[in-house]
């Protein structure tokens, strides 16, 4: 009689333990299969699953937040958007460069206050246009990383982040981040160009840089052939950098060819023409110099 009572008392606990054991066993079997059931692969992160395509909006917002952070809070509102920076070149421009000067003009959006409320309100806002300096430059990186997580197809995120990572001496992290970007955007000549810069400027590896820039040029041409209207300014940058490498390697004919290609997108084609003329002169003197040796 007492034994029956004990069994009745313990019964629910035994069932609970057995159910937990069954859950555990099933979990070990199902864990691997669940990912195959869904079309979401391993590349999908939690944010993508939660937000769907709406995540791109958040990604844009985080990218803007990186820019806000870069300006220490001094940033135009939607009401000042007409005078807001239209591109991201200022994020990677040094003082004195044309992009930086143009940006300086764009960022003087406040103007004189229109009334006493606006005048008084400015005492509480950041009203000075500054850029991050020194160790603070890394402060924009978390926003860029978040933007890349949310929208892996936003190419500027990778190039801007890689620029600052290199600037901070984090070359390996920059390379890793650019490669992540390349995985999501295999046709991006922008990322390839930035990767080439990393090899050339940070790793001093010209051979590797040339391969990557060659590939960037090929990707640019493919996009032009496909009628996607790729950025001609970027073409100029790729071609000029590649031409410099070819010149160092002694392939002057290809260097000239690349500079001629760069003229298509350069804002200063006349400067490139001068360089082309110099190289042509050099090329013309080359056989003559080689001639005595061959005799």
Partner 1 sequence: MKTILAIASVVIMELYRRKDFYVLFVLTAVITLVMGSVSFFNDTRMVRYVKDIALLLIWVSALVIAIATTARQIPAERENRTIFPLLAKPVTRWQVILGKFAGCWLACGMALIVLYLFFVVVSGTREHHWPLLNYCQALWLQWVMLGVVVAFVLLGSVVFSSTASNATISFIVVLGILFLGRYLNQVALQQTEPVKTLVYGLYFLIPHLEWYDVRDRLIYDQNLVGWVDCWLATLYAILYMAVFLLGAWLVFRRKPLNL
Positions touching partner 1 (CB under 8 A) are: 65, 69, 72-73, 77, 79, 114-115, 117-118, 120-121, 123-126, 135-136, 138-139, 141-143, 145, 165, 168, 170, 173, 177
145 burial level (CB within 10 Å; 0-12, 13-18, 19+): middle
19 burial level (CB within 10 Å; 0-12, 13-18, 19+): exposed
Both structure tokens of 189: 């000549």
- As measured in angstroms, the least distance from the Cβ of 184 to partner 1 is 17
Q: What's the gap between Cα 10 and its chain centre?
A: 62
Both structure tokens of 111: 């103007």
Both structure tokens of 286: 């080359």
Rounded Cα–Cα distance for residues 208 and 49 (Å): 37
- As measured in angstroms, the least distance from the Cβ of 173 to partner 1 is 4
**CA-based Rg of the chain, rounded to a whole angstrom?**
29
Rounded Cα–Cα distance for residues 134 and 138 (Å): 9
Q: Which is nearer to partner 1, 135 or 225 (CB)?
A: 135
- As measured in angstroms, the least distance from the Cβ of 192 to partner 1 is 21
- As measured in angstroms, the least distance from the Cβ of 179 to partner 1 is 14
- As measured in angstroms, the least distance from the Cβ of 180 to partner 1 is 11
- As measured in angstroms, the least distance from the Cβ of 77 to partner 1 is 6
- Non-local CB neighbours of 76 within 8 Å, separated by 6+ positions: 83, 84, 107, 109
Q: Which is nearer to partner 1, 177 or 193 (CB)?
A: 177
- Non-local CB neighbours of 231 within 8 Å, separated by 6+ positions: 190, 265
Rounded Cα–Cα distance for residues 221 and 215 (Å): 10
Question: Could you tell me the end-to-end alpha-carbon distance of the chain, in angstroms, rounded to an integer?
Answer: 119
- As measured in angstroms, the least distance from the Cβ of 114 to partner 1 is 5
């Amino acid at each position: 009689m007492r034994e029956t009572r004990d069994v009745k008392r313990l019964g629910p606990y035994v069932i609970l333990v057995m159910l937990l054991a069954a859950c555990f066993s099933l979990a070990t079997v199902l864990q691997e299969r669940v990912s195959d059931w869904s079309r979401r692969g391993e590349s999908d992160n939690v944010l993508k699953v939660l937000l769907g395509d709406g995540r791109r909006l958040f990604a844009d917002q985080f990218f803007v937040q990186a820019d806000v952070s870069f300006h220490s809070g001094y940033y135009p509102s939607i009401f000042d958007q007409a005078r807001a920076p239209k591109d991201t070149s200022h994020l990677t421009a040094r003082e004195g460069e044309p992009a930086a000067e143009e940006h300086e003009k764009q960022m003087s959006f406040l103007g004189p206050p229109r009334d006493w409320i606006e005048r008084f309100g400015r005492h509480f806002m950041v009203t000075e246009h500054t850029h991050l300096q020194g160790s603070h430059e890394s402060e924009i990186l978390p926003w860029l990383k978040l933007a890349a997580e949310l929208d892996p197809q936003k190419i500027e995120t990778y190039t801007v982040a890689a620029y600052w990572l290199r600037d901070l001496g984090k070359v390996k992290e920059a390379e890793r981040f650019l490669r992540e970007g390349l995985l999501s955007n295999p046709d991006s000549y922008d990322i390839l160009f930035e990767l080439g810069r990393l090899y050339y400027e940070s790793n001093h590896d010209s051979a590797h840089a040339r391969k990557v820039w060659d590939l960037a040029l090929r990707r640019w041409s493919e996009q032009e052939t496909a009628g996607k209207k790729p950025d001609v300014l970027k073409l100029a940058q790729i071609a000029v950098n590649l031409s410099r490498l070819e010149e160092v390697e002694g392939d002057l004919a290809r260097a000239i060819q690349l500079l001629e290609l760069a003229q298509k997108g350069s804002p200063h084609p006349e400067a490139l023409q001068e360089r082309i003329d110099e190289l042509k002169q050099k090329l013309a003197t080359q056989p003559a110099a080689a001639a005595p040796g061959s005799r």
